[in-house]
């Protein structure tokens, strides 16, 4: 019998983080889970490490980097196939980044939230920031678990950007009573299996056209449109290696600096996939109401791209080319 939770990890040259993640998983007080790693063609020895130290972990290897969405879809299909005949309302997929660390009671506390809310489709714990100090010196290298929030859930703003609630803020419990969410962050997200089954399109749960970035926002929007709610469980604590930057609330100078710290590939996909999100998911009438904020943001973003990231103008062309596919996905009904 396949366990109640499938912890799904997509790895790509993730040896810097995988050992700490797997150690934290092995120390969980809740034990009804199975760990599945989908490796996207790593060359850093992660497979040898896992097989030698965690033989109970299922390790599946792709020959090349397929991206976040296709690899996680593989993991979701793998788990659902093994739950055949089981009640999928009581089976769960935990989408997990390799650079996450669980507190020992993370799963136990998260499942308390699940039991208390049997009709909710997705759950998120309190994700805090972790940072590596003395990273260049193996003898002094250590992980610092901070009091800064990484995410307490996804917030859909009036301009239809989506941000991690509380990102970069000092945790004082300010979000602990605000449990209803638009969606959960893909860095560490628990999905009810029957909710994913309902919104899956021919076994495509995360949209493979996105490849990287904002797949979690797309999935959250689709679940929300189907009536599946998302919930924050503050007592379930984990840590995410994202560094000290990345506040939710920034002025325009801080936003430019923050964006320039990120990889050009990340910015390219972020630009393109934001447009795909709107085409695929934005309801017409609420879009009309929000149009002043949407257009003002899009105009500023386009001008910024022209001035500072002209290479990313191709992201707009790529998005235009994918509009027919997004419209087909938007209007095609799947069982």
* 251 has pLDDT over 70: no
Residue pLDDT, tens place only, 73-90? 999 999 999 999 999 999
Cα→Cα distances 170→120, 184, 219, 284, Å: 28, 20, 28, 37
Q: What is the pTM of this model?
A: 0.91
Residue pLDDT, tens place only, 165-207? 999 999 999 999 999 999 999 999 999 999 999 999 878 999 9
Name 216's Cβ contacts closer than 8 Å, sequence gap at least 6: 95, 154, 183, 184, 185, 186, 189, 206
SS3 call for 111: helix
Residue pLDDT, tens place only, 5-30? 999 999 999 999 999 999 999 999 99
| pLDDT confidence band for 245 (50 / 70 / 90) | very low
Pick the CATH number of 5-241 from 3.40.50.1460, 3.90.1150.10, 3.40.50.620, 3.90.550.10: 3.90.550.10
Angle between helices 215-225 and 68-82 (to 10 degrees): 50
Buried b (16+ CB within 10 A) or exposed e, 159-192: bbbbbbbbbbbebeeebeeebebbbbbbbbbbbb
* 257 has pLDDT over 90: no
Strands 162-164 and 58-62, sheet pairing = unpaired
Contact criterion met (CB below 8 Å) for 121 and 228: yes
Task: Round to whole Å and give the CA distance between 150 and 185.
Answer: 10
Task: Round to whole Å and give the CA distance between 113 and 234.
Answer: 9
Q: How many CB atoms are located within 10 Å of the residue 48 CB?
A: 10
pLDDT of the residue at 136: 58
Cα→Cα distances 24→127, 147, 282, 330, Å: 14, 19, 38, 39
pLDDT of the residue at 112: 97
Name 178's Cβ contacts closer than 8 Å, sequence gap at least 6: 152, 232
* 335 has pLDDT over 70: no
Tokens standing for residue 178: 């605000």
* Domains of the chain, residue spans: 5-241, 252-331
Residue pLDDT, tens place only, 119-176? 999 999 999 999 876 555 565 567 889 999 999 999 999 999 999 999 999 999 999 9
Task: Round to whole Å and give the CA distance between 188 and 185.
Answer: 6
Task: Round to whole Å and give the CA distance between 150 and 254.
Answer: 17
């Amino acid at each position: 019998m396949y366990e109640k939770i499938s912890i799904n990890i997509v790895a790509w040259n993730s040896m810097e983080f995988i050992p700490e993640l797997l150690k934290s998983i092995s120390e969980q007080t809740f034990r009804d889970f199975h760990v599945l790693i989908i490796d996207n063609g790593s060359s850093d020895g992660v497979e040898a490490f896992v097989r030698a130290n965690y033989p109970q972990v299922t390790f599946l290897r792709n020959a090349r980097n397929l991206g976040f969405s296709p690899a996680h879809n593989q993991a979701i299909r793998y788990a659902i196939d093994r739950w055949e005949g089981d009640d999928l309302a009581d089976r769960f997929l935990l989408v997990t980044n390799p650079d996450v660390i669980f507190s020992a009671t993370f799963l136990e506390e998260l499942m308390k939230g699940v039991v208390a809310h049997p009709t909710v489709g997705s759950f998120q714990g309190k994700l805090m920031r972790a940072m590596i100090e003395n990273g260049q010196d193996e003898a002094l290298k250590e992980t610092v678990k901070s009091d800064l929030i990484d995410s307490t859930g996804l917030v859909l703003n009036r301009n239809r950007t989506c941000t991690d609630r509380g990102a970069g803020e000092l945790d004082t419990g300010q979000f602990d009573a605000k449990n209803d969410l638009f969606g959960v962050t893909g860095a560490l997200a628990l999905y009810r299996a029957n909710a994913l089954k309902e919104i899956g399109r021919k076994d495509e749960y995360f949209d493979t056209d996105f490849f990287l970035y904002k797949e979690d926002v797309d999935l959250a929007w689709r679940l929300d449109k189907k009536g599946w709610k998302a919930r924050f469980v503050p007592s379930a604590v984990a840590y995410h290696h994202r560094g000290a930057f990345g506040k939710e609330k920034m002025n325009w100078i801080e936003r430019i600096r923050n964006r320039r710290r990120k990889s050009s590939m990340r910015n390219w996909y972020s630009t393109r996939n934001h447009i795909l999100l709107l085409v695929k998911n934005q309801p017409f009438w609420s879009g009309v109401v929000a149009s002043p904020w949407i257009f003002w943001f899009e105009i500023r973003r386009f001008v910024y791209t022209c001035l500072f990231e002209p290479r990313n103008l191709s992201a707009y062309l790529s998005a235009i080319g994918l509009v027919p596919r997004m419209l087909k996905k938007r209007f095609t009904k799947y069982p």
